[in-house]
Amino acid sequence: MSELQERMPHITAFPEALGTGIIVRSAQPIGTTLKCDLQSFIDEYGITLSRFRADSLVGRMATAGRGGSFDFPDWSLPLFELYDALDSASRGAIDPCVGEDLIRLGYGADLTFTVERDAREHTGSIHGRPTWRGDVERHGTTLVTHRAVHLDFGACGKGYLVDVLARRLRTIISGEWLIDAGGDMAINIPDAARPVSIGLEDPADTASAIGIAHMSNGSFCASAPSRRHWGAAYKLHHLLNAIDGQPAHGVSAAWVAVPAPDTVAGRPAATPKNGDAIEATRSMIAVDSGSDDHDYAVTATTAESADTVTAGPGGITATADATEAVTTAGPADTTAAPAASGSARSSMTDLMPDSAPGLAPDPPAPEPACTPGITTFATCPTAVADGLATALFVTEPDRLAQYFSFSCALLDAGRHAMMSEKFPGRFFVA
């Protein structure tokens, strides 16, 4: 039995949640009443936000040719406010109206994975597809439209569901627990000296890990096209730039950590923070193979029952299990990106230049709904981490750091690895 299994021996599973399933590990058992309560909300969440269900509220918006007024539950307000902020921070590259583009690319409710012949002529806001800012009028939790709008809340939706479930757990059970929704995690461990270890999955080989992170209290999310793609050589996947409606290819994988807020009650409130939050992400450092005493290649035991991730030749061992993105591993070939001349930090323009595929351009646009200023979404840190892990495919970290407090690690298409100075992990560099 692994250390994590000993610490959190009780497992509660929701296998049908959001198509990926949700697993809750806890030190204390989750009783039948609480499990039924959590399942009830998961069901409500799906019937409200799923674009794959014709009977959902989002599904009704998609078939309303003349639009209409749609009243969403009160719990959706922080999610909508987060999308307002992401839309502004990404200059429109993150937009829930991207659902229409996904359908044209074959990722609709029918799951044909067949691209419409004229898709490229219609995808993206540049071709007149509805936008969150221009075609969805929001009054609190009421959305008003004037034509059919295909919303997709996939960028943040899974993380937001985790946050709502986490708030319910906090009010009822004590001790350690971890919620894992297909790799999007909320972690509650009072003792910071005993963090869980999380493998950073290699997007080129999902049976391998290329790094490890440690977290005790907060949210941790990852995004990569490796587990949801179609067409040859990953050319089509679900991580789109909403401006042109095409898959982003400048980044291969992104990992985001958001520490737990001091309080989890109340509405998200804009809280300016001078220096630390922005600098933690703006100071992206290249992973230098000489920064440790050894070069590491990762080896792991196989399957979901894996107990350890062993990094050699330094002999470092970390706990791992089914909640981690690690299965069978081989040598990692991650390459260190060159650091900026004369400094330990490297500008993200080295990793993701303005001309790189998938980056959000600067088209003429109306004034953003949100202006720069670190915003603390106290009720939904996992949704923030989830959304940012997607936004990093289309927006520079420096830009996102003007709006959100987070740390991150990135692997670009050339397998150059970079991370924030305060990211709670490291890459294995060969």
Position 319 in a domain = no
C-beta separation of 393 from 255 below 8 A: no
Residue range 91-115: average pLDDT? 91
Q: What residue ranges in 85-128 does DSSP mark as E strands?
A: none
- Give the domain extent around 62: 3-290+335-427
Whether the predicted pLDDT of 243 surpasses 70 = yes
For the chain, how many structural domains are there in total?
1
Report, in angstroms and rounded to the nearest whole number, the Rg of the chain calculated over CA atoms. 21
Position 322 in a domain = no
Position 305 in a domain = no
Distance CA(240)–CA(38), nearest Å, equals 31
Residue range 367-386: average pLDDT? 77
Least confident of 276-290, 389-403, 408-422: 276-290
Give the pLDDT confidence of 298-312 residue by residue, as tens digits. Answer: 222 222 323 322 222
Which CATH number covers residue 112?
Answer: 3.10.520.10
- The string over 95-105, giving b where at least 16 C-beta atoms fall within 10 Å of a residue's C-beta and e elsewhere, is bbbbbbbbbbb
Position 145 in a domain = yes
Position 91 in a domain = yes
Q: Which letter does DSSP use for residue 117 in this model?
A: T
Tokens, residue 298: 């990762």
Using CA atoms, how far residue 89 sits from 14, 126, 256, in Å, is 33, 18, 16
Residue range 397-410: average pLDDT? 94
Nearest alpha-carbon partner for 401 in 412, 388, 410, 390: 388
Nearest alpha-carbon partner for 429 in 249, 291, 255, 238: 291
Residue 108 pLDDT grade (very low, low, confident, very high; cuts 50, 70, 90): confident
Least confident of 85-89, 222-226, 333-337: 333-337
Using CA atoms, how far residue 80 sits from 44, 191, 410, in Å, is 17, 33, 26
Whether the predicted pLDDT of 149 surpasses 80 = yes
Whether the predicted pLDDT of 139 surpasses 80 = yes
Q: What is the dihedral of CA 199, 327, 231, 54, to 10 degrees?
A: -80
Position 307 in a domain = no
Question: Which percentage of the chain shows pLDDT scores above 90?
Answer: 58
Position 304 in a domain = no
Kindly report whether the peptide bond that precedes residue 313 is cis, defined as omega within 30 degrees of 0. yes
Residue 373 pLDDT grade (very low, low, confident, very high; cuts 50, 70, 90): low
Residue 280 confidence (pLDDT): 47
Position 330 in a domain = no
Nearest alpha-carbon partner for 144 in 134, 152, 156, 154: 134
Give the pLDDT confidence of 38-76 residue by residue, as tens digits. Answer: 999 999 999 999 999 999 999 999 999 999 999 999 999
Residue pointed to by tokens 């999007």? 184
